[in-house]
Amino acid sequence: MSHLIATFFYIGHLRPAPGTWGSLAALLLGFIIIQTAGVYGLCIAILTSCVLGWWATAAQTKGEDDHDPSEIVIDEVVGQWIAILPLAIAPQPFEISFWYWLLAFAGFRLFDIIKPGLVGWADRQTGPIGVMLDDIIAGLMAAAVIVLVMMSLS
């Protein structure tokens, strides 16, 4: 069960760039969650995935040298869902929201890959908390960018 969760239903085994595949899957599922369960549903999904992701990552990396194997993508799922949270809170018309969704994806992936500031610090932490935390922070940074763009355009 931990492998299923950690790899987000085996999406983490897709190559190349499993983190990008995990983020794309999260984007699609996040859209469905928002459409069916709204902002509260997305918040529940984020919190549940944080807890299950920490547990699954701990189980998958126990006794291993690599504390953050590339097939573990539940952290990208959580980070991507955090990045789209502003879009659930303040929905926009489709012709505008498409660009925000694209920005949420690109911004999260950029922060996750280049690891600026706190993202890099969190990435250097060992154990499952470090695996999850860098993507949580990258998601928060991407969400902040979206909020700033939304505010500047309103």
The most distant pair of C-alpha atoms in the chain lies apart, rounded to whole Å, by 51
- Residues contacting residue 50 through CB under 8 Å, at least 6 positions apart: 78, 132, 136
Expressed in angstroms, the distance from the first to the final Cα of the chain is 45
Instruction: List own/partner pairs for 56-59 with CB under 8 A and 24 or more apart.
Output: 56/1, 56/2, 56/3, 56/5, 56/6, 57/6, 57/128, 57/131, 57/132, 58/127, 58/128, 59/2, 59/6
pLDDT of residue 65: 81
What's the one-letter identity of residue 17? A
pLDDT of residue 94: 79
pLDDT of residue 154: 77
Nearest of 63, 77, 73, 70 to residue 127 by alpha carbon: 63
pLDDT (tens, 9 = 90+) of the chain, 154 residues, equals 999 999 999 999 999 999 999 999 999 999 999 999 999 999 999 999 999 999 999 999 998 888 788 999 999 999 999 999 999 999 888 778 999 999 999 999 999 999 999 999 999 998 999 999 999 999 999 999 999 999 998 7
pLDDT of residue 68: 84
3-state SS track over 72-129: CCHHHHHHHHHHHHHHHHCCCCHHHHHHHHHHHHHHHHHHHHHCCCHHHHHHCCCCHH
Centroid of chain to Cα 62: 22
Provide the residue ranges of all domains of the chain, joining segments of one domain with +: 2-153
pLDDT of residue 27: 97
